Amino acid sequence: MAATIQALVPRMRDICGAGNVITDPLELRTYECDGLTSHRCVPALVVLPGSAAEVAAVVSACAGAGVPFVARGSGTGLSGGALPHESGVLIVMSRMRAIVEIDPVSRRAVVEPGVTNLAVSKAAAPFGLFYAPDPSSQVVCSVGGNVAENSGGAHCLKNGFTVHHVTGLEIVTPSGELTWLGDGTGICSGYDLLGAFTGSEGTLGIVTKIVVKLMPVPEVVHLLLVAYGSTAEGGRAVSDIIAAGVLPAAIEMMDALAIEAAEEAVHCNYPAGAGAVLLVELDGPAAEVEAELSTVRSLCEAAGATEIQAADDPAERAGIWAGRKSAFAAVGRISPAYIVQDGVVPRTSLGAVLARIAELSAEAGIRVANVFHAGDGNLHPLVLYDDNVPGQAEAAEKVSGAILDACLERGGSITGEHGVGVDKSRYMPRMFGADDLDTMQLVRCAFDPAGLCNPGKIFPTPRLCGEVPGRRRPPHPAVVAGQAEIFLYGHRTVVASRGPPGSCRRLPGAGRRHRRRRGGGSGPLVRRLAVVDRRGFRALAGGGRGRARGGAARRRDRARLGRPAVTLRPGRGPALDGPGSGARGRRPGGAGAGGRDDRAAGRGVRLGLRFRPAAGARRPGRGDRGRGGRYRHGRAAAVPLRCPA
């Protein structure tokens, strides 16, 4: 692999410029980890592309050489999602930080992935708008990284996560194709590929442009800082507020240890001696906020509040929020090392889980500081330890895992917004069954059959997509039930099949034989994939060349085999994520299919993923079986997925 990387260096310098290709071992160590420093790996090569075209060229070169690659934003992730591959290329997106457009009329912005989260709100502020997702690291974290991890932040209780504010993505697929998901409207009918990509932790491709929704700045904002003797009292107040029908913009809680760290770091002047503090922010129309403020005050007092501070001035609010937003970094003042967790529990289980965390801390002799989004039960326990003391790191890991187990026992999740990455992949089997994990892998393989895009993340063991398999397992339940067919190296496989046909049996022929076995056109419908016009989501339908036919089609199939695109065109109805409103999906072989679809798809290559048809699906007529129709609809150039090992 070292020789392959060295052979790639000249090509990368041609693409990105010599100054944007890093090969020096000392400089490479700069990128050995993200915000989770307990996992480290020095990449073989680092490149810093400056445009979407350069990203596509870099990925294409890696795919052609069979070299794994990982995308990195600002490096603030807390799950090891951007951990490099020791024999791969790290693609750093920090040079791509242009705000392409702010459209105040449609309330949206188009930004590049290296743009920082807070920069979007600052650019939209002159128009009375802001970008809602606000992770604590919003000053430095990138929007591209937010998309990869589906980040939330303190205000996600009311405003939602990143996935609720992204309406379009320009991406580079793992094969190097540049395409769009979503048309910028946020409306989806059919497979939600935009939603599937958001939060996929960089395993399905690399984002090069993001279309985000902007929201009007609230008329009034009030912030309450409430002190309690314990987190149990604060948790009771949270439940009472939500039960009263009040939906604050944010409800955050910190315990005594987290308060101590924040005071040392930023001198936030939280109430002295408090066992816990609750931050409750209300925003909206003035009359509504005033009414809610009175209700929240009375509920907090009834829950045992020892002190309540109110702030409506922006500077005062920023001072109070500084303590909460600096909490993760602040614990470095009281501990040389720590592990950040990201479990989720129902709000009604907050008290029980916090009590369990206290028990685990006392049993192991490991301190745990609690900082969390109390409104939606997203816990961020900080497990503190000294890595210079033998055995403490292992004890901290054990406590950290036990906290996640406690979350799962209460019907929660192992992650809310930090992602799985490498840090929590070993916990995935505790939350999902083997069949669930294999189904997730099938989706991943549809985008990345070669398994080169951010490998080794999310899933606990390498499975499918050419990764080293474990012990042989029965076929996937969807295959056994006849709901899906798996393609291996471009050929259809079935239950009890002995393997793919020989290489001399070309794909179009295999597809025709399969249709004959299925009784002509009554076999499975072809759910078609197409590469969208490279002009993006605003491109108008039409203007593409007609489809190549006959021998030209066969030659192109052979050249493109194993390079699936990602824009799905279902059998009926409007095209998902197509380049324009004029692009319509039709049944394969149905009336009107072919040339018009080709033009709408902008010279797209079509690859097939087969599913069983609905009852009453029509057979293609004789007119569909001519020379052009045969290769237009008969090619079974399928997404090459591996059967579960």
DSSP characters for 295-347?
A: HHHHHHHHTT-SEEEEE-SHHHHHHHHHHHHTHHHHGGGT-SEEEE---B--G
Q: pLDDT category, 38, cuts 50, 70, 90?
A: confident
Beta bridge partners of 72: 92
Banded pLDDT at 641 (limits 50, 70, 90): very low
CA triple 172-173-175, angle to 5 deg: 115
Same domain for 253 and 358: no
Single out the residue of 559, 550, 540, 538 nearest to residue 605, CA to CA: 559
Shared domain check, 211 and 126: yes
Please indicate, yes or no, whether residues 86 and 106 belong to a single structural domain of this protein. no
Output the pLDDT for position 186.
83
- Average pLDDT of 478-497? 52
Total domains in the fold of the chain: 5
CA-to-CA separations, 549 to 508, 570, 630, 631, 633, in angstroms, rounded: 12, 22, 9, 6, 11
- Per the domain annotation, does 429 fall within a domain? no
CATH number of the structural domain spanning residue 292? 3.30.70.2190
Same structural domain, 86 and 104:
no
Q: How far apart are CA 150 and CA 614, in angstroms?
A: 34
Residues 207 and 109 in one domain: yes
- CB–CB of 171/388 below 8 Å? no
Rounded average pLDDT over 216-242: 95
Q: Which pairing describes strands 69-72 and 89-92: parallel, antiparallel, or unpaired? A: parallel
Asked if residue 359 and residue 306 are part of one domain, the reply reads: no
562: three-class secondary structure by DSSP: coil
Does residue 107 sit within a domain? yes
416 assigned to some structural domain: yes
Taking the CB of residue 546, how many other CB atoms lie within 10 A of it? Answer: 13
Across all residues in the chain, what is the average pLDDT? 79
- Nearest C-alpha neighbor of 536 from the set 167, 252, 195: 167
In a domain, 472, yes or no: no
**260 and 347 housed in the same domain:** no
Cα(582)–Cα(602) distance, rounded to whole angstroms?
12
Residue 440, in any domain of the structure: no
Q: How does DSSP classify residue 379?
A: E
- State how far the Cα of 640 lies from the Cα of 642, in Å rounded to an integer: 7
Q: Identify the domain boundary among 181, 216, 251.
A: 216
Task: Tell me the CATH number at 375.
Answer: 3.30.70.2740
pLDDT for the residue 308: 96
Same domain, 283 and 379: no
Same domain, 228 and 313: yes
| Co-location of 195 and 229 in the same domain | no
Three-state SS for 433-491 is: CHHHHHHHHHHHHHHCCCCCECCCCCCCCCCCCCCCCCCCCCCCHHHHCCCECEEECCE
Convert the pLDDT of each residue in 419-444 to its tens digit: 999 999 999 999 999 889 989 999 99
Distance CA 448, CA 550 (A): 28
Concatenating the DSSP letter of every residue in 85-127 gives PTTSEEEE-TT---EEEEETTTTEEEE-TTSBHHHHHHHHGGG
Residue finishing a domain among 333, 360, 392: 333
End-of-domain residue from the set 282, 306, 333: 333
| 435 belongs to a structural domain | no
167 is a domain residue: yes
So what's the pLDDT on residue 625? Answer: 35
Q: Do the domain assignments include residue 479?
A: no
Both 69 and 116 in one domain: the answer is no
Give the lowest-confidence range in 114-118, 318-322, 606-610.
Answer: 606-610
Confidence band of 476 (pLDDT split at 50, 70, 90) = low
Residue 435, phi then psi, degrees to nearest 5: -65, -35
Q: What is the DSSP letter of 175?
A: T
Domain span at residue 27 reads 2-92
Integer angstrom CA distances of residue 381 from 60, 264, 453, 546: 41, 19, 30, 58
Q: What is the pLDDT of residue 483?
A: 64
Q: Supply the pLDDT for residue 484.
A: 61
Same domain, yes or no, for 613 and 512?
yes
Instruction: Give the C-alpha separation, 283 to 350, whole Å.
Output: 25
**Exposure of 243 by Cβ count < 10 A (0-12 exposed, 13-18 middle, 19+ buried)?**
exposed
pLDDT at 36: 87
pLDDT (0 to 100) of residue 225: 97
CATH of the domain at 25: 3.30.43.10
Instruction: Please compute the mean of the pLDDT values over residues 255-270 and round it to a whole number.
Output: 93
